[in-house]
A = this chain, B = another copy of it.
Amino acid sequence: MPRRRRVGTGAPTIAEVAARAGVSTQTVSRAIRSRSRISVETRERVLNLVREMGYLPNRNAQSLASTKSNLVGLITHALANIGPTQTLVQLEEAAKARGFNVIVTDIDENPHSIRAAFDQLCAYRVLGIQVNFPLRIDFGVFRDLGRRVPVVLHDVRVGPEVASVVFRHAKGAQLLTEHLLGLGHRRLAYLGGPKTWIAEHERRQSWLRVLRRARLKPGPVFHGDWGAATAYAQAKELLRRHRGAFSAVVAGSDLMAVGLLRALNEAGIAVPAEVSVGSFGDFPFAGLLTPSLTTVRQDFAQVGRLGFACLLSALENPGSPLQQLDLEPALQIRESTAPAADRGSEG
Q: Which residues of B contact A89 (CB under 8 A)?
A: 79-80, 106
A9-B67, A60-B64, A64-B58 as given contacts; A285 in contact with B123, CB under 8 Å: no
Q: Which residues of B contact A105 (CB under 8 A)?
A: 92, 96, 101-102
- Is A88 an interface residue when CB atoms closer than 8 A count as contact? yes
A60-B64, A92-B104 as given contacts; A80 in contact with B86, CB under 8 Å: yes
- Is A255 an interface residue when CB atoms closer than 8 A count as contact? yes
Cα separation A93 to B80 with both chains bound (whole Å): 12
Say whether A119 contacts B56, CB under 8 Å: yes
Say whether A104 contacts B80, CB under 8 Å: no
Say whether A59 contacts B125, CB under 8 Å: yes
Smallest Cβ distance from A63 to chain B, in angstroms?
4
Smallest Cβ distance from A130 to chain B, in angstroms?
13
Say which size band chain A's interface belongs to: 35 or more
- Is A151 an interface residue when CB atoms closer than 8 A count as contact? no
Output the residue of A63, A80, A124 with the most chain B CB within 10 A.
A124
Cα separation A227 to B271 with both chains bound (whole Å): 24
Copy tally for this chain in the complex stands at 2
The 6 sampled A-B contact pairs (Cβ below 8 Å) are A7-B67, A79-B92, A101-B124, A255-B285, A258-B288, A259-B285
Cα separation A258 to B92 with both chains bound (whole Å): 29
Q: Which residues of B contact A57 (CB under 8 A)?
A: 123
Q: Which residues of B contact A9 (CB under 8 A)?
A: 67-68, 125
- Is A341 an interface residue when CB atoms closer than 8 A count as contact? no
Q: Which residues of B contact A61 (CB under 8 A)?
A: 60, 64
* Minimal Cβ-Cβ distance residue in B for A102: B104
Say whether B79 contacts A123, CB under 8 Å: no
Cα separation A89 to B120 with both chains bound (whole Å): 17
Say whether B102 contacts A288, CB under 8 Å: no
Other CB < 8 Å A-B pairs besides A61-B64, A82-B82, A228-B285, 7 of them?
A59-B123, A92-B104, A102-B103, A227-B284, A232-B288, A258-B289, A289-B289
A64-B58, A64-B60 as given contacts; A106 in contact with B125, CB under 8 Å: no
Say whether A101 contacts B79, CB under 8 Å: no
Say whether A60 contacts B69, CB under 8 Å: yes
A59-B124, A228-B285, A288-B228 as given contacts; A106 in contact with B93, CB under 8 Å: yes
